[in-house]
Amino acid sequence: MNRIIALLACLVVLSSASTVLAQPTAQFWEEVGGSASGDGLSAATRGVPTGNRQVSVAVGPDGRPVVAYADGDTILVRRWTGAAWELIGPSSASGGLPQIVTDAAGRMYLAWRQFVPPTESFEIFLLARDWTGTTWQPLGTSGSGGGISGAEGGAGVPAYSLALGPDGTPYIAYQSTTFTEADFTTQTAGLHAWTNQISGREGGGASNALSFKIEGHGTTTFVSHNAEHPTLAIGADGKPVVAFIYSSMFEGGNPPEFNGENDDMYAVRWNGTAWEPLGPALPTTLDNVALGAPGGISNTPGWIREVGHDRLVRPSIMVDRDGTPVLAWGETNFDDGFRYIYVYKFNGTSWQGLGSPSGQID
């Protein structure tokens, strides 16, 4: 049983020393309505679970923040009114890993992960509410049954990412278990837009992380590759970009060709008809990278995944105003064992470190 302690969900905003909002003169952080002291803005009844992305924040059209969090296994949303943190529901959301985003008009989209007893799997659900509205509403069947990811059967989602298109359309990218008997890996498979499903659950999904079988050295070894912890962004062109962690595992013993079990970052973009790699492509043959050597965008022998510490595993991607994808991730250094943050940007043909060749933030 996971231990839940009474953590406060706190929020601070960067306060400006000037009243001229157009000037970037912010100099210090300021607490908003007692959100960073006492019981915080949550004043949780059962406590905000630790260890795994249980708080999400967005900003409405009036510049005021809205925060989604888990109180035990109940998903709650509070909005700053200018004087207090108002609880605005919803009343039917139960689970964890909430994510909230707002569109230009302030319409709020709240997604979360919930256990579905009939399929015995965790699935992604979503509700929406207008900024000035009073009720949360599903988009199609996004709030009932198997939700979004489990509408066609259990997907078993450990991680997902929510983003809005330039027209306000919500998209979900999620990690799932396999949907075909011929594939035994996990994959970043689903990317749903409700008005149009641009990537199905069959095959390898958006990531298409192939696994391999090695024979001929006295035993059969399965080189299993997973695509994990997707992060999703959509630029002004409306084309989704998904980045994810590509990991290597060996089942049945390490083959003589074994290179290591490091993991790396990769990214793909939807071109309107198919997913295309942004920078290095995932291995399609049993080459050095498929056998565990460094590759991808990160291309280092370090570890991005942190087993037992999912709170540290959260790569993040965005598309800037010029349409340039920017990717950040945390990685444990192979040499000193310390964890560092890296930021890279895509120049149209390759990824480059932002601020320095390595992209490392000191």
Q: Which helix (H) or strand (E) holds 171?
A: strand 170-176
User: What whole-number distance in Å separates Cα of residue 272 and Cα of residue 40?
Assistant: 44
Q: Is the pTM of this model over 0.75?
A: yes
Q: Is the four-CA dihedral 261, 291, 232, 171 of positive or negative sign?
A: negative
Give 217-229 pLDDT, tens digit per residue. 566 677 778 888 9
Determine the pLDDT at residue 187: 43
Residue with tokens 């965008």: 297
Long-range contacts of 294-297 (CB under 8 A, 24+ apart): 294/260, 294/262, 294/264, 295/246, 295/264, 296/246, 296/264, 296/265, 296/266, 297/243, 297/264, 297/265, 297/266, 297/267, 297/327, 297/344, 297/351
User: Quick one: average pLDDT of 56-80?
Assistant: 95
Average pLDDT, the chain: 81
Give 188-200 pLDDT, tens digit per residue. 444 555 444 556 6
Give 136-171 pLDDT, tens digit per residue. 999 988 999 999 888 878 888 888 999 999 999 899
Q: What number of CA atoms fall less than 13 Å from residue 101's CA on the CB side? A: 19
User: What whole-number distance in Å separates Cα of residue 112 and Cα of residue 98?
Assistant: 4
Looking at residue 200, its amino acid is: G
> Residue 198: which residues within 8 A CB-CB, separation 6 or more?
191, 240, 270
Determine the pLDDT at residue 192: 56
User: What does the buried/exposed string (b/e) look like for 1-19 if buried means 16 or more CB atoms within 10 Å of the residue's CB?
Assistant: eeebeebbbbbebeeeeee
What backbone torsions phi and psi does residue 170 show, to the nearest 5 degrees?
Answer: -80, 140
Determine the pLDDT at residue 151: 80
Give 5-38 pLDDT, tens digit per residue. 333 443 455 443 333 445 566 678 889 999 999 9
Q: Which helix (H) or strand (E) holds 194?
A: none
On the question of pLDDT at 113 being above 90, the answer is yes
Largest CA distance in the chain: 74
Domains of the chain: 45-361 (2.120.10)
